[in-house]
Structure 1
Amino acid sequence: MSNNLKRMEKDLRALAKRCKDIKYTRALLLSFLLMGMLTFSEGLTSPEVKSTENAISQTRKELNTSIKDLHTSFKQAKRENNRLLKNANLELIQLME
């Protein structure tokens, strides 16, 4: 385990040398390790968080479906309006003759 930690510390120092804005400290190493652990661990999320995420994804799917339905309704209304406009233009032309 210590070999992996030393290698990670060495890689982080090399990154800090390449990026002039970053200064290497032990706190940076600890923060890096903790953020990596929190990012890649799925077991740390509680069941409440998972149920909330599921509810959000379900709501997102429902919203996408309703948006698609509205889009098709608008397309249909536009087609109907265009058809009625053509008929109205035809009637206007006939009246002008």
Structure 2
Amino acid sequence: VGPAAALAKAAGIADIIVEVDRIDQIAPALDAGATHLLLDNMPPAMLREAVGIVAGQVPTEASGGVTLETIRAIAETGVTYVSVGRITQSAPAADIGLDFAAA
């Protein structure tokens, strides 16, 4: 995680969003220049620990496993944002075709 964020910073990328799914990835990401952390599939207790480690240095975003049943507990951990992909992931697909005829 750290080397990838460092390469992005060295390339002049201003916004470096790093996805982490373990607590031990947070410090290397921050040290390497992450400007935003995406905390992926972490249960509320781990999210709370992650927010404490970040200590407001960068915005934090919880994602993965967010449902109507879990969103309150996730929000109460202190993360900056909560991503909810379930809205689009569970939407039914529509097969729409458009045919053109040459005039």
Which range, TM-score by smaller chain? Answer: under 0.3
State which structure, 1 or 2, has the greater radius of gyration over its C-alpha atoms: 1
TM-score, with structure 1 as normaliser:
0.26
TM-score, with structure 2 as normaliser:
0.25
Greater helix percent: which structure?
A: 1
Larger RCO (alpha carbons 8 Å, 6+ apart) = 2
